[in-house]
Structure 1
Amino acid sequence: MKKIVPIVLRRQKQQLDILVFKHPLAGIQLVKGTIERDEHHQNAAIRELFEESGLIAEPNPKFIGNFQIKFNQQNWYFYLCKVSADLAETWTHHCQDGGGLDFEFFWFPLYQQPTDNWHVMFQEALGFIKEQQDLF
């Protein structure tokens, strides 16, 4: 099964932060979703980012690679999305997934070790993203 992972980064005080959220039932995660049938990967990245965070990405996000998650053997495709709006330090977005859930967004230092609050799949994904730093 193919999944799309739109990532949003920011540089703050010589530190690179990645946008993450606390899922009310499943710990700290990255935005991720299923690529719909016949949907272009770039469009899926923009759509998923909007559905899960409320953010509107600029067109043509940059493909940074794909990675098979060992935990569940899913193939994840990572796209670096740019958002022109000034983003807050934290915010809550009501997502329609799972009957309607509130996702608590915040910035996480990319090179900080993830805590046990991170689902193992997203720890794997974070490791992959760190390895792609030359593409940022």
Structure 2
Amino acid sequence: MLRPAGGRLEILAFRHPLAGLQLVKGTIEAGEDPGAAACRELAEECGLVAVGPPVFLFDSSDLPDADRWFFYLCPVEGVLEDRWDFETADDGGQRFRFFWHGLEDDLSDEWHPLFVEVFSKLLPVLKALVAEP
């Protein structure tokens, strides 16, 4: 999820109760298309339903020490709140606290170092996508 706000881009992020600040992610199930997995994880982790096909951004295969992650932009309808909580059904239920993070904002040490690397790659990809006619 991405939104323009005040002349800048913001990405949907959340505070995991045990693992700090993160982006929505998850495991691809056997035989599942990565784009379909992205849409499923969006619904499972924050309750949002994609309304169109996901747009592939990049994968993490060139990041050191990374599992292979696929990044997609999943369109949803409507205007989302600035912050909200969502109770997940997995792992016995956990409350994720969602917020919007400016793509060019500094990352605190609450972010895992791998996400810091992801942001460095994500920013130019998303800027190029938004600049396309």
After TM superposition, the score normalised by the length of structure 1 is 0.88
Deviation at 1:9, TM superposition (A): 0.5
Deviation at 1:131, TM superposition (A): 2.7
Q: Using the alignment, how far apart are the partners of 1:39 and 1:31 within structure 2?
A: 17
* Local SS of the residue matching 1:63: strand
Matched, 1:16 2:9: yes
Corresponding position of 2:99: 106
Corresponding position of 2:118: 125
Equivalent position amino acid for 1:135 in 2: L
Corresponding position of 1:61: 54
Corresponding position of 1:115: 108
After TM superposition, the score normalised by the length of structure 2 is 0.90
In the alignment, is the contact (CA less than 8 A) between 2:52 and 2:76 conserved in 1? Answer: no
Q: Using the alignment, how far apart are the partners of 2:7 and 2:47 within structure 1?
A: 27
Match of 1:134 among 112, 128, 131: 128
Unaligned runs of 5+ in 2: none
Q: Which runs of 4+ in 1 moved over 2 A?
A: 68-71
Deviation at 1:76, TM superposition (A): 0.9
Deviation at 1:88, TM superposition (A): 0.3
Q: Using the alignment, how far apart are the partners of 2:124 and 2:8 within structure 1?
A: 16
Structure 1 segment 69-88 matched on structure 2, within 5 A:
69-71=63-65, 73-88=66-81
How many residues align structurally? 128
Deviation at 1:59, TM superposition (A): 2.3
User: How well do the aligned residues superpose, as a CA RMSD in angstroms?
Assistant: 1.2
Matched, 1:30 2:23: yes
Q: Using the alignment, how far apart are the partners of 1:127 and 1:58 within structure 2?
A: 28
**Could you say which structure has the higher strand fraction?**
1
Deviation at 1:15, TM superposition (A): 1.1
Equivalent position amino acid for 1:103 in 2: F
Equivalent position amino acid for 1:128 in 2: K
User: Percent identity, aligned pairs only?
Assistant: 42
Q: Using the alignment, how far apart are the partners of 1:9 and 1:59 within structure 2?
A: 14
Unaligned runs of 5+ in 1: 1-7
